[in-house]
Amino acid sequence: MRKVVIAFASFAILALSTAAAEAQRDTLTLAMTLEPAPGLDPTMGPAAAIREITYANLFEGLTRIDRNAEIRPALAESWTVSADGMVYGFKLRQGVRFHDGTEFDSADVKYSLERAMAPDSRNAQKWIFAPIAKIETPDRYAVVVTLKRPAGNFLYGLGWGDAAMVAPETAANNSASPIGTGPFKFDRWVKGDRVELSRFDGYWRKDAVALRRVTFRFIPDAQAQISALLAGDVDAVPIFAAPEAVEQFKTDKRFSVTVGATEGETILALNNQKPPFNDLRVRQALAHAVDRNALIAGAMSGYGTPIGSHFSPGHPAYVDLTGRYPYDPAKARALLAEAGHPNGLKATLRLPPPPYARRGGEIVAAQLSKVGIQVSIEPVEWAQWLDNVFQNKQFDMTIISHVEPMDIDKYAVDDYYFGYRNPRFKEVMAAIDRATDPAAQNRLYREAQTLLADDSVNVFLFQLSRITVANADVIGLWQNVPLPANDLTEVSWRK
């Protein structure tokens, strides 16, 4: 018995000593739901989890996207754009070092861009680099990029994680041991458990960085995330997966809860190529049959913003089209009858695992049944969803959140899974690409949103909210996420 007591006492001491270590307040532990795959190289895979660790922490690009979605200088101190929008001159920041000590210069820029645009590159966002014709390096701190055609989104694209600056000597190993120029360097990755970073002393903006050590822990289970927060094992969960538990943290003074916007447009995607969804009236009927507010209240505990097209409400070019198809079951039934389905119709609804889809799907199915649409729900796992729905287009309806920023351009992709084909929409997208004036671009984006709503391509449901639960003393975390990231440069503990 005495041994048991001693064992318990030593556990208690251990627990206390870890608490003491946390009291120094220059370390931060964050919980993430998913582990990055494959590896930690943002130029080699599109997974959001890669960016949530590496963006602005390990890697930097020529430009960066800040918390307000503005394009800011990063490794490029400044730039000039020729009047025809074809030539970009970048002036690089001097004295920037990679984590291995080597200096960053124009040769690294040329290498990084050429590596990303190479025909055998696995970069997931080749659109960023596609317009590049040639890259010249007049001196160590100057880069001149000439384009084949004007590209209005070029500077924006360079701010994505996919355009991170890497060094030729280390790029091949970035998946397993990433070397960038960011404020934190990679220490280790305990697979299945955590990734650890520590402050990089050679960082060019070193004084701005308050944290000494950062740990990302992988906790897939929402209940376990809650326990980890309550037990003080983690300091913040930037993307909190259990909206139903938010109230508990809001009333607890030890925690702060922020609700921000994401780029996640959640849609009831329809197979536009398959009858009866190839009929505009049927798609409009579906739009009238769904009560978005009830859906958000029921499935997301009220966290979410209704949308009427495929565009983020936070963007300056956003048009509120939620009134285009108000909730009106009678109208929905009339439209269905007009389309030749007076007795309703039957359809399947494939649901991937995230709660917004599984819970949302139940509610959507119930709402659709009120207008005579008999929905059979088919839960699928993520790999199956990608295979059946995304790749082979075997589906009637599905619920999915498109989380990439500015992904309205997907509606111009031939053979994209929901099968939308409208030549006018493609023209508008091409015009946006050519436009270099932001005002002209925004005008075109507004037209694009309206086109999608007019064609009722999908039933646009809501923008996902980003709920962050953190220790009340942690300051500087991003509230809104214009792109997947947990930028910790300016995060600190309240004194």
Partner 1 sequence: MIAFVLRRVLGLAATLAAASLVVFVVLEVLPGDPALVMLGTEAQPQTLALLRAEMGLDQPAPQRYLTWVAGLVRGDLGLSYTYRVPVGELVVQRLEVTLPLTVLAISLSTALAIPLGVFAASRHRKWGDSAIMAFAQLGMAIPNFWLALLLVLVFAVQLGWFSAGGFPGWSESPGAAFQALVLPAIALALPQAAILARVTRSAVLDMMGEDFVRTARAKGLSRDAALWRHALRNALIPVLTIMGLQFSFLLAGAVIVENVFYLPGLGRLVFQAVSQRDLIVVKNVVLLLAAAVVTVNFIVDLLYAAVDPRLRTGR
463/489 with CB nearer partner 1? 463
Which residues, 143 to 182, sit near partner 1 by CB under 8 A?
Answer: 175-176
Binding-site member from 22, 77, 114, 404 for partner 1 (CB under 8 A): 404
Instruction: Examine residue 233 and tell whether it contacts partner 1 (CB under 8 A).
Output: yes
Of the listed pieces 77-85, 114-122, 300-308, 310-318, which binds partner 1 according to CB under 8 A? 114-122
Determine the interface stretch with partner 1 among 131-139, 197-205, 217-225, 369-377 (rule: CB under 8 A): 217-225
Subset of residues 410 to 449 that bind partner 1, contact rule: CB under 8 A: 410
Question: Which range touches partner 1 (CB under 8 A), out of 10-18, 76-84, 303-311, 359-367?
Answer: 10-18
Chain centroid, CA 205 distance in Å: 26
Beta bridge mates, 59: 55
320 binds partner 1 per the rule CB under 8 A: no
Q: Contact between 120 and partner 1 (CB under 8 A)?
A: yes
> Distance between CA 134 and CA 144 in Å, rounded?
8
**Residues 6 or more apart whose Cβ sits within 8 Å of residue 191:** 35
Of positions 93, 99, 194, 292, contacts partner 1 by CB under 8 A: 194
Stretch that binds partner 1, among 91-99, 121-129, 362-370, 451-459 (CB under 8 A): 121-129
198 binds partner 1 (CB under 8 A): no
With contacts defined by CB under 8 A, name the span among 86-94, 229-237, 259-267, 468-476 that binds partner 1.
229-237
Q: Does 475 bind partner 1 (CB under 8 A)?
A: no
CA–CA distance, 181 with 19 (Å, rounded to integer): 32
Number of residues engaging partner 1 in binding (CB under 8 A): 55
The answer to the question of residue 314 lying near partner 1 (CB under 8 A) is no
State in angstroms the smallest separation of the CB of 188 from partner 1.
10
138-140-141-144 Cα dihedral, nearest 10 degrees: 30
The reply on whether position 125 binds partner 1 by CB under 8 A is yes
In angstroms, rounded to a whole number, what is the distance separating the alpha carbons of residues 463 and 264? 6
Residues 331-360 touching partner 1, rule: CB under 8 A, are none
Between residues 87 and 230, which has the closer beta carbon with respect to partner 1? 230
Q: Contacts with partner 1 in 16-45 (CB under 8 A)?
A: 18-19, 35, 37-39, 45
**CA-based torsion, 438, 440, 446, 450: positive or negative:** negative
Residue type, 454: D
**Smaller CB separation from partner 1, 76 or 270:** 270
The residue within the footprint of partner 1, chosen from 169, 187, 320, 381 (CB under 8 A), is 381
Letter string b/e over residues 255-292, b meaning 16 or more CB atoms within 10 A of that residue's CB: bbbbbbbbbbbbbbbbbbeeebbebebbbbbbbbbbbb
Rounded Cα–Cα distance for residues 81 and 430 (Å) = 20
Is 56 a binding residue for partner 1 by CB under 8 A? The answer is no
Minimum CB distance to partner 1, residue 5 (Å): 13
Residue 227 or 374 having the CB closest to partner 1:
227
* In the complex, least distance from residue 39 CB atom to partner 1, rounded to whole angstroms: 4
Nearest approach in angstroms of CB 360 to partner 1 is: 18
* Closer residue to partner 1 (CB): 7 or 208: 7
The correct pick among 15, 133, 172, 208 for binding partner 1 (CB under 8 A) is 15
Can you tell me which of 133, 172, 224, 366 binds partner 1, judged by CB under 8 A? 224
Q: Which residues bind partner 1 (CB under 8 A)?
A: 8, 10-12, 14-15, 18-19, 35, 37-39, 45-47, 120-126, 175-176, 190-194, 217-221, 223-224, 227-228, 230-233, 381-384, 386-388, 390-391, 400, 402, 404, 410
